[in-house]
Every structure is written in C-alpha cells, then in structure tokens.
Amino acid sequence: MTRKIQTAVVGVTGYAGAELARLLLHHPRLKGVPPVFAGRVDEKDAQRGGIPLGEIHPQLGDNNGRGKLRLEPFSWELLAERGVDVLFLAIPHEQSREWVPRALKNGLRVIDLSGAWRLTNAANRAVYNFEDEGAEEAETTQAQAVYGMPELHREQVAGARLIANPGCYATSVILALKPLVAAGLIDLDRGIVADSKSGVSGAGKAPSAKTHFMYAADNLSAYSVFSHRHTGELLEQIGIDASQIVFTPHLLPIPRGILSTIYVQFKEPQTRISIAAVYEAFFAGCPMVRFSIKTLPQIQYVVRTNYADIGFQLDSSGRRAVIVSCLDNLLKGAAGQAVQNMNIALGWPESEGLA
C-alpha cells in the first residue's frame, strides 16, 4: 500500500492559514493523516504540548477530534519525526527567505504563500528589500521556484520542489489579461488600467489603523498606488513592462473577496465571439476558472470558493473592453490555490478537495 502524504502548515494562526487548515483537514486524499501544525508557541503552551487548534480557530472543531489537534513548537526535527512530505508556509516573506533553502535541503516539497520567491527579476524584488538579495543561496533557491499559477504553469508545477503561490490581486489581474496579451490583441501602447478592490482580510490578521473597523467600515480607499508588491508579478507573468499598465488596489469594507475591473483597447476591432473564443481556448482544461460571455462576475458568486470568475463587455466600436475578474482572496488568491498546486505536484486531480 502506498504511504499517505503527510503535510505540515506553518502559519496556521492567520486568515489564509485557517483556510489552508480547513481544506487539508477535509481533503479526501489526506483522510486519516491530519496536517502537522507548527509555529511560534510560548513556553507555557509548549509544556502542555502546544495550543489546541480549536482554541485558535473554533470553527475547525468537530466531533471527530479535529479541534484537539495542536499547534506545536516549530522545529526541523519535528517535521522529520512526523515524516512531513509537503510543507506549506503561510509566514512573512523574510522568514520564508530564511527557511525555504533549508527545507529544500531537507528534501521537503515547499508551497510558499508569501511573496518571497515569486519574482525572478531582481528589480521587481526590490520592493521587498530582502537582506539576502544577490546571495548565492538565495539565487540558487530562486532558480528552483515555479510561479504557482496552474492556468499558466501547470507542467512546471507538476515537477516543482518549490512552488511560489501567487498573490491574490495578481491572480485576479493575470488571469483576466494573459489570454488577450498572449493572443496579441491588446494595444499595449494605449495602456491597461487595472482597478482592483479587496476585502479587509487581504491585509492579513495583524491589526492596523487602516484595517480598523472605524476606518474600513463605510469607506473605500486606494492605497500603494504605483508601489504595490504584486505589480512585479503582473509584469513578469503577463509579459508587459511598467509603462503599459496602471494597477491601483483599493480596500473594500467587506471581509473577503476581490473584484478587478480592467480597461483595455484592442489593435483591431473585435467581436464578443472572437474575444470569448480566446478565453475559452486559453482556459480549456482549467477547472478553477469560470468564464462567461453572458454575465459579469460578482464577489458574492466566488466568495468561499476556489473559482476565479471572468467576464467582459465590449463597446460598440469593438476596440475597447472592460474585463471583470472576481475571486476569494483567501482561497483562489491564497490557500485554495496552494492546495490546487499540491494536487498537481502530487499527480492528483487538480480540483480535488476544492470543488
């Protein structure tokens, strides 16, 4: 009998970590082999064997003992003792830069939800100000990383030891634009405008003045204009340069979900049928993308799912289009896409445990 896969999650206390734990606990291929949850645990909690998962995320508890699973003090020895095969990291970028090289040396397959290894271009990585930038170990590790967007890199993900899970905003914009840019339809000299809005959970669990209820409620605000960390992902994955797109993120007063409204102009007049044909051909065999020629996506249709919904409207001249892309930032934009990548890497059906 083939040994079952053992997973581990570091960073389960965050929003994306909670979704990742939920998906892995209910994944049919992992039945009977719950993830190892490891992280920072103070001495008092360590003495009682860690923190019960049910205390961190009561919603994950059930009558089968899942809530009694524990967040244990992280150590490489713990991962080795438990026979971990796949390590999910939902931790800060800087910590991932430190830990991933050792994880690879230890023979682990790593799926990293941070931005530490997403960018191949050093100029794009500069926004993170990594202390190890240019170091030999960092360059060697970066060379092994595959950008974990199955719709673009399914074959590379299948053989990857280090999968860099995409950013949430980046996923929504890349999926909407890549088919049209790859087909050579968009007039890049006229520029692209990507106007994206995300729920508050996209900022992470650590509280800040801007995510405080009194600031975010009944409000809509733009932020990180011309400086958002996901911009480099758009440039590298779509295949454009910074002068060809304006990407502006906004904070929505809702818990979760992203809606990106993208404005493009075409080199030649198009029809609804011609544009639809491009999308349908590009996403053939992509179970987690739902494209519609009839309706525009809405956040309420994708929240708590791993689907990315894409639709568009074409103006009467056939030269201008508005594309709308929606997804759940914690699922297709984070934990769900990470599990999708695990499925591909392990040779399982891509949407298993997700749809």
Task: Cite the active site residues.
Answer: 168
Distance CA 130, CA 128 (A): 6
Question: DSSP characters for 206-225?
Answer: S--TTTSHHHHTT--EE-ST
Closest by Cα among 26, 2, 22 to 352: 26
Closest by Cα among 266, 234, 264 to 247: 234
User: Which residues have CB under 8 Å from 101's CB, separation 6+?
Assistant: 137, 138, 140, 141
Computed from CA positions of residues 249, 252, 255, 258, in that sequence, does the dihedral angle turn out positive or negative?
A: negative
DSSP single-letter state for residue 162? E
Computed from CA positions of residues 309, 202, 233, 106, in that sequence, does the dihedral angle turn out positive or negative?
A: negative
First-to-last alpha carbon distance for the chain, in angstroms, is: 27
- C-beta of residue 327 within 8 angstroms of C-beta of residue 333: yes
The residue type found at 216 is A
